[in-house]
Chains A and B, each alone.
Chain A
Amino acid sequence: MAEPSRDEAERVLTRLVEIPSFSGDELKASSYLVEAMGGLGYDRYEVDAAGNAVGEIGETDAGQTVVLLGHIDTVFGDIPVRVEEGRDGPALYGRGSVDAKGPLATFAVAAARVGSEWAKRNSTRLVVVGAVEEEAATSKGARFIRDRFDGTQEPTPDFCIIGEPSGATRITLFYMGRILLEMKADQPMMHSAGPNPGVGTNAVDLWNWIGGYADSFNRDRNRMFDQLRPSLRDLRTWTDEAMRDLVWTKIGVRLPLGFDVDAFLGEMWDWARERVQEQASPPEPPYVRGADASPQKLHFGDEELRLEFRFHGYEPAWRSGRNSALVRGFLAAIREQTSERPRFVSKSGTSDMNVVGPAWQCPIAAYGPGDSSLDHTPNEHLHLDEYWQAVLILESALRRLA
């Protein structure tokens, strides 16, 4: 089968961007990508039980397995799909063009260019995944793939490439971790002229407590990626029909490598118990390690003041090594296909690398064309020259794994 051309690569990308696929509503896009994989000569292709688009090249019992894990969902936003000519050549505008249908289409086309014949000759199995719900804290698609390739049902991958916009000449090796915390406090309704400063202060005090914890932790840690970085995402107060005043807040915390999240939460529970003057033995601390993404709740207090904590979306930070066959292959491929020096990137966000990295423990890197500062913006667009360059670089990097 002939290698997909640049025109074909652009058709796949454009059609993928044209099909809306907000998190939780990806079926149409997954179905399209699976159909496209069939047309590109993949050996096997299907929408799996999680809704992921999955295509495979090579034998299932090959000597090595390479998982190319992109995501097919996007955040909300309707950006009219169009190509505009600019100083840097044609650019495709559309939601997901950068984050991360550009990288996903790069995977789909580059793997097809490597092809079934090469994969069988070199005993390599390429598994391209367009995972669902990466933009949601659930990472449903990546968790499904992580559990499928668990070393029992299917072999643990020998290499993994995550589809995110690093830029065509850069490789992402580090993502910070994250945990999302929600606290709801409620107390009997009271007059604002009274001595109680109001239910909202519970949220403010929690935010200040976390800020103080972060300041203490961050002392002598000068690099952003070594720091604990909280952000206040939401805060609301209201009074309900039961005549109780309520406050609810949501706080996200970006986590550095090796951060002891259980110790952090343990101290937070101590803060909560002290606040409600709870003398009873504390609730069992719901340690988050191994708790995956399941939301967990913890209650403190009584009728005078009740605090309810919920935490979810925990992902540890993950750093990949620089001395692997995967990274060496990318460095050589970038130099082969461009005149630029390759660069490494660390990112303050999270990706599906945080989900599969700890489980698979294999060489892993995130790669894909695009400027990640355009992620989630109304101006999201991908330069098509860079897209094609990334296809050729990835094809070359994959061939170097043989």
Chain B
Amino acid sequence: MAVYTVTAVAECPECFGEVELNDVMENEIVQCGECGVDLEVMGLDPVALDLAPEEDEDWGE
């Protein structure tokens, strides 16, 4: 399985603080060290972050 990782600094889309990324993969969930929000790595070249998927609460099965 070929896995590509990146080490970089990116901007948090929530608080615009700097997020340090160490060996992250595409679609990995990381946390902003400044505001604490969960983020998803959307791309590696260039590095892009977006808010991570939200968590719904359901009943079932």
Q: Which A residues are within 8 Å of any B CB, using their own CB?
A: 99-100, 164-165, 170-171, 173, 175, 223-225, 322-323, 325, 327-329, 331-332, 341-351, 372-373, 375, 401-402
Indicate if the CB atoms of A350 and B61 lie closer than 8 Å: yes
Residue among B3, B26, B55 facing the most chain A CB atoms (10 A cut-off): B55
Residues of B within 8 A of A (CB): 1, 3, 25-29, 40, 52-61
For B30, the closest partner residue in chain A by CB is: A323
Beyond the given A223-B57, A331-B53, A345-B57, could you list 18 further A-B residue pairs with CB under 8 A, ordered by the A residue number?
A170-B56, A225-B57, A323-B29, A325-B3, A328-B25, A329-B27, A341-B53, A342-B53, A344-B56, A345-B58, A347-B58, A347-B60, A350-B61, A372-B58, A372-B60, A372-B61, A373-B58, A375-B60
- Look across to chain A and name the residue whose beta carbon is closest to the beta carbon of B1: A402
A350 to B29, CA, bound (A): 25
Look across to chain B and name the residue whose beta carbon is closest to the beta carbon of A345.
B56
Contact across chains for B27 and A348 when beta carbons are under 8 A apart: no
The answer, among B52, B54, B57, B60, for a CB contact under 8 Å with A373, is B60
Majority DSSP secondary structure for residues of B touching A: loop
How far, in whole Å, are A331 and B58 apart by their CA atoms in the complex?
19
Query: Are B61's CB and A349's CB within 8 A?
Result: yes
Chain A residues closer than 8 Å to B1, beta-carbon distance? 325, 401-402
Q: In the complex, A401 Cα to B55 Cα: how many Å?
A: 23
CB neighbours of B26 from chain A (8 A): 328, 332
B53 and A332 form a contact (CB under 8 A): no
Given A332-B26, A402-B1, A351:B61 Cβ within 8 A: yes
Chain A residues, Cβ within 8 Å of B56:
170, 343-346
A350 to B27, CA, bound (A): 27
CA distance in complex: A329, B29 (Å): 12
Chain B residue nearest to A63 (CB atoms) is B1
Min C-beta distance of A182 to chain B, whole Å: 22
CA distance A346 to B1 in the complex (A): 29
Complex CA distance for A390 and B38, rounded to whole angstroms: 26
Query: Closest approach, in angstroms, between the C-beta of A19 and any C-beta of chain B?
Result: 20
